[in-house]
Copies of this chain bind each other. A is one copy, B any other.
Amino acid sequence: MDKMIIYLPIVLAVLGLIYMFVKQQWVMKQDAGDGKMKEISDHIYEGALAFLNAEYKLLAIFVVIVSVLLAIVSLVVPTTHWLIVVAFIFGAVFSAFAGNIGMKIATKTNVRTTQAARTSLPKALNISFGGGTVMGLGVAGLAVLGLTAFFIFFFHFFMGGVWTNTMDMTIVLETLAGFSLGAESIALFARVGGGIYTKAADVGADLVGKVEAGIPEDDPRNPATIADNVGDNVGDVAGMGADLFGSYVATVLAAMVLGNYVIKDMGGNIGEAFGGIGPILLPMAIAGVGIIISIFGTMLVKISNNEAKESQVMGALNKGNWTSIILVALACFGLCKYMLPETMQMEFFGEGLIQISSMRVFYATLVGLFVGAVISSVTEYYTGLGKKPILKIVQQSSTGAGTNIISGLATGMISTFPSVLLFAGAIWASYALAGFYGVALAASAMMATTAMQLAIDAFGPISDNAGGIAEMSEQEPIVRERTDILDSVGNTTAATGKGFAIASAALTSLALFAAYVTFTGIDGINIFKAPVLAMLFVGGMVPVVFSALAMNAVGKAAMEMVQEVRRQFRDIPGIMEGTGKPEYDKCVAISTKASLKEMMLPGLLTIGFPLIIAFVPMLFGMNHLAIAEMLGGYMAGVTVSGVLWAIFQNNAGGAWDNAKKSFEAGVEINGKMTYKGSDAHKAAVTGDTVGDPFKDTSGPSMNILIKLTCLIGLVVAPILGGHTEEGYAEVTKEISVENNITINKDNAEATVTYTTIVNGEEVIKKETFTGTKAQVEAKLKAFEAANDVARDENVKTIEKIEINKS
């Protein structure tokens, strides 16, 4: 039985996809409303498809280029198998397909939600959340299916389906990393490109429509209005989906890599149970079970009262979410107990092997679940309506845009305090419990509810769109009121979803970072080496520059949009009277093209920097392991700085947004009720303008930046790092004592110069011993003894040992 468990995640993933399909059919069967509603919805649907098609074309080119590069690498580097190319392509295709499912269902669900809201709020929630569920299960199901299927395939291909040794499994997992790289590449396009698209369309529509032509938001006469609505789906649905797809796959992969090293630390064999790969299977099993738990969780999300308010809707979502989290905790308990050896040995840096019980691994998963839950509350505190930080920004708006902006920036900056302490505590705790395997499993447990998180997340923009459609098709006020309730809850879940996404990206990157170190075989990343420290600086800088480029990209893309809208207002007769039809598709095309063009530079920065650090020093003949350590420093810099800038930008943006929204219901400033249209409100609008690219473009892009950086590192690792086709690095030594100086009467010194050949490269090392003559002689003896045997795993041949004592 326990040998069959390898197929369990596939079965669970397929079950999830079947449920998704059923749910999808159910949503599609719902009433899509009357003529005008349908027309608007169709425009959004077509616009979304247009973006996807354009994106796919660009993606296809990108995938071909990277595939060729990977193929060349697999030809040149003996440890990299060509199957990595296949895994890469499938990773990209699966992620794109998941995004496609999500976008399609989201753009079909919106109008059905509007229609349902005409009669019933519970039904409207049911449908909009149903759309979200389809999206969530599509992402989670395809992620687990793809990853597991490839793992089983590679496990059979490279190892014949039975445990042989750690090295073979390393090859399996290195090849599997291609799948993850493919998935994350799509995320780059979806999250960064999508983030630029959504804000460019938004700004473009507002600038010409609201400001120049003086027509309201979502007015069908505005040629950019469809692009604006498409943008919501592109950014919040497809972008978020691809982001979490990437995190999900990368987290599970990293946990598998570290599971393999647990087996290594235990002597390379843990017996027959679960084919001898229990620690490697565990993260996949948790992911699979998480899908089923998420399905159950989504079933709990419903309300019965047609007069329900925000708090009841939020309560329904919370019920489903918390139930999922608790069930995942229970499942982790069972799976850890069932699949792991009761006691494991794990190597801790500087502490040697430590006995770790399976229960400690379980506790580590609890840490992950805790972080996932708490980061949402932290995010909500700093960005939630009516919370102290927002009220403060509102107060500061009364003295102008300047103070509003300072206050918003400060809020975003201060919000890094609890968030980073939470992450730091989580790293520490999960590591103390079960090493980096614990860190990776904490991330895996947190990500197990991905389907549920995405359902909650995607429901927001669907409701937002539903409200927009209600407005555009001039429904009765009650319809808008109902969709507004859903939309308002959706705004909160959007902020907490961003918190979850950054937490997942942070933990994923850490797990990948740990996997990278073990892959390369370096003994840690020592920032006291100046080149490593220099790369830590460079890595820290990249997220800052990336953010700036992303923000500038929004500005440039928006200007192209503005020009097109102006042209249409000028050239199409009767457009303002409603008799001429605006060319929505041209606006969609322009912002599609502009956003994909503008994402090139930040994308290049993301991919280019790690490759330059890895390969340029190689041309100058630098030691590979030294390069690996530098690249590790770079990865750490990007991760630390990226997490900080993500939290800062997301929360500042969210805070400004809600400070502005506060004016809709009216706020009390200096004892006076203040509303929309006041000077303070205008200041808050300015703040929101700054916050928009923060929270929708550059902030969320950080997730991709840090994950992709660490994944590129992981894929490059075999080229840099510690093993060849046969096993570990081929290290040969030639040892000779160069000189032996006596300085003072009691101070002797001996310098041993030896040549170590690592992967065919000569590395000259020196070791110096000082002390009394007797001490130096003893040290030389010890050195001899140590070199005879201490590195036996690495040393293939010791060509010559000559020690001349004076």
Q: A interface vs B, CB < 8 Å?
A: 207, 267-269, 345, 349-354, 396, 399-403, 405-407, 409-411, 413-414, 416-417, 420-421, 423-425, 427-428, 430-432, 436, 439, 510, 514, 517, 524-531, 533-538, 540-541, 544-545, 547-549, 551-552, 555, 626, 632-633, 636-637, 640-641, 643-644, 648, 685-690, 693, 743-744, 747, 749, 751, 765-768, 770-771, 775, 778-779, 781-782, 785-786, 788-790, 792-793
Contacts and interface: CB of A to CB of B under 8 A. Distances in A.
Given A525-B528, A690-B406, A789-B775, A413 B547 contact: yes
A640 B641 contact: yes
Contacts of A399: 207
Consensus secondary structure, chain A interface? helix
Contacts of A545: 413-414, 416-417
A540 B644 contact: yes
A776 to B, nearest CB: 9
B402 A548 contact: no
B350 A428 contact: no
Contact of A428 (B531, B685, B689): B531
16 contacts: A349-B526, A352-B766, A402-B687, A406-B551, A410-B551, A414-B545, A417-B541, A424-B535, A427-B534, A428-B534, A510-B533, A525-B526, A528-B632, A771-B792, A775-B792, A778-B788
Contacts of A534: 423-425, 427-428
B544 A648 contact: yes
Contacts of A207: 399
A268 B746 CA distance: 12
A771 B793 contact: yes
A763 to B, nearest CB: 9
A547 B779 CA distance: 52
B352 A410 contact: no
Contacts of A526: 349-350, 524-527
A345 B352 CA distance: 33
Given A413-B551, A514-B528, A527-B636, 4 more contacts: A269-B744, A401-B402, A536-B640, A637-B640
B544 A644 contact: yes
Given A351-B765, A686-B401, A689-B406, A782 B771 contact: no
Contact of A352 (B626, B747, B768): B768
A789 to B, nearest CB: 4
Contacts of A430: 530
A538 to B, nearest CB: 5
Contacts of A421: 538, 541
Contacts of A410: 548, 551-552
Nearest to A541: B420
Nearest to A428: B534
Contacts of A269: 743-744, 747
A512 to B, nearest CB: 13
- In the complex, the 7 A-B pairs of residues with the closest C-beta atoms, listed nearest first: A402-B689, A352-B766, A431-B530, A413-B548, A524-B526, A778-B789, A420-B541
Contacts of A744: 267, 269
Contact of A689 (B354, B400, B533, B536): B400
Given A551-B410, A765-B351, A775-B792, A267 B782 contact: no
A687 to B, nearest CB: 8
Contacts of A424: 534-535, 537-538
Nearest to A752: B352
Contact of A785 (B267, B525, B782): B782
A204 to B, nearest CB: 12
Nearest to A426: B534
Contacts of A555: 396, 403, 406-407
A268 B747 contact: yes
Contacts of A432: 530
Contacts of A409: 548, 551, 690
A527 B771 CA distance: 32
A423 B540 CA distance: 12
A792 B428 CA distance: 34
